[in-house]
Amino acid sequence: MDIPYNYDTSMLIKHLATKTGSNIIEHKEIKKPPRKISNRSTRGRPIFIKPAYKQLIVQFDKQAAYDYFMKENYWSLEIENFVVRILPGNPDDPEYKKRTSHYFKITGLPLNSTAKDIEPLIKHVYGRTCTFTQTTKYSTMKNAYIYVSPNNYPTDAINGASSLFEGYNLHVLPGHLSLKTCNTCGSPLHEAKNCDDKNFDIDQNNRKIFKKRFINRNEEKIAINENHRARFNHVITLNANKRSPTMSQNPKPNHTPPRNYNNKNNQQSGSLLYPRQTKQPYNNHNNYGNNNKDLKYDNSYIAPHLDNPQVTDINRSEQRITQLEQQVQSLLQSVKTLQDGKSKVDSTIADIHHNHNLMSSSLNDISTRLDKYDTIIQQLTTNINLLSQEKISEHKERNVKTPK
């Protein structure tokens, strides 16, 4: 589930077959029809929007493929900057209910947020996978749902919490609270018509036009050393006052193969993206819930600060580099072991060839000796025959000379 609508699934299908060691005998993409936006039209024509995601139903030729994902407790695959959820094909399957019944609702996210951006929050609530809601061109923010295992879900929670993320307030709500939230800022404390968010402009009709929330990903600039600037200015033309055209917030990604999230610090069976973890303590301050509307919203801290994702990215990159270095060292050690084994095998083969040559030489000597022995035996046989004939002749002569 949750495959981007226009994503080519051929690479995903190949990856699933390779990962499970099974053949895919049938697959089918399921795309919902475009949804009509109520009370909105363009010159009298209704406005339709395509769904953000599609589904892929895959049938394997072996039960072991199903067991690989379900019994080994794999919930998701990471592809580029989005997450594909893995569910049984039968909604009545207990595993299906286990993977969809417990979740946290995250509201107030910037429109270009990805699973990578909120990964610290996902890990903090022991999430196994997540999905984002459909947005339109009128949306100012979007929501996410983080699914967790039943044993990691606070069934007795009566409150949510908030945290800053890229300068915006986001709100973390356990799914069973079923609170209505503001469509503008995501707050559960008021409706959209009473939104008190300060991020807006006033149009000519004195109406509030709330600004869309985006993560600014173009803040970092490469500083050029002044010596290099003076030295190579005739080659490189620099224009500090002119910026390159900004890229769209959601460029179409190139299709890259799915990959497993590989983090040796958290590597264990149970998730291709987020590791299986033990249950955490939750803050049970009574701040808001279904039956408690008069209490103030609790800004107590449930998620780690997400204000500086660049530090998280750097730490993640450093961890990844360390992991790759360890893998390279392991591969070099394996190559050395194979080379040592090859040398031993080559030495053994050389000994076998030497022994074979010795045995061949010995066999040749024996064959030569046998030929000589055959010649000697033949000569002895001839001599014996001659002696026998002489003896017979002598005996006959004696019998002739002695008559009476």
pLDDT at 403: 59
Tell me the pLDDT of the chain (404 aa) as tens digits: 788 888 888 888 888 888 888 899 999 999 888 877 777 667 777 777 888 888 999 999 989 988 888 888 889 888 877 888 999 988 999 999 999 999 999 999 999 999 989 999 999 999 999 999 988 888 999 999 999 999 999 988 888 888 898 889 999 999 998 788 999 999 998 888 888 888 788 888 888 888 899 998 875 555 556 665 566 555 555 444 444 444 444 444 444 555 444 343 443 344 444 544 445 444 443 344 444 344 344 444 344 445 455 566 777 888 888 889 888 998 999 999 999 899 899 989 999 999 999 999 999 999 999 999 999 999 999 989 888 888 888 777 777 766 55
Instruction: Report the alpha-carbon distance of residue 11 to residue 255 in Å, rounded.
Output: 8
pLDDT at 96: 92
Instruction: Report the alpha-carbon distance of residue 270 to residue 126 in Å, rounded.
Output: 12
Instruction: Report the alpha-carbon distance of residue 170 to residue 124 in Å, rounded.
Output: 15
Locate 238 and state its tokens: 């620099």
Sheet with 53-60, strands from edge to edge, namely 3-4, 53-60, 24-30
C-alpha distance from residue 264 to each of 3, 211, 326, 334 (Å): 27, 41, 10, 19
Give residue for tokens 């051929």.
10
Amino acid at 8: D
* DSSP H/E element including 121: helix 119-124
pLDDT at 233: 58
pLDDT at 248: 41
pLDDT at 201: 83
Instruction: Report the alpha-carbon distance of residue 290 to residue 98 in Å, rounded.
Output: 24
Q: Which of 253, 221, 255, 250 is nearest to 238 (CA)?
A: 221
pLDDT at 1: 73
Locate 297 and state its tokens: 């919203």
pLDDT at 126: 92
Locate 107 and state its tokens: 């509201």
Q: What is the largest CA-CA distance in the chain?
A: 172
pLDDT at 196: 83
Instruction: Report the alpha-carbon distance of residue 233 to residue 106 in Å, rounded.
Output: 49
Instruction: Report the alpha-carbon distance of residue 102 to residue 11 in Å, rounded.
Output: 30
Write the secondary structure of 202-259 as one string of H (helix), E (strand) and C (coil): ECCCCCEEECCCCCCCCCCCCCCCHHHHHHHCCCCCCCCCCCCCCCCCCCCCCCCCCE
**Neighbouring C-alpha atoms within 13 Å toward the C-beta of 267:** 9
**Contact in structure between 177 and 289 (CB atoms under 8 Å):** yes
How many residues does the structure list for the chain?
404
Locate 36 and state its tokens: 């009509």
For residues 71, 72, 74, 75, the Cα torsion angle rounded to the nearest 10 degrees is 30
Instruction: Report the alpha-carbon distance of residue 328 to residue 181 in Å, rounded.
Output: 49
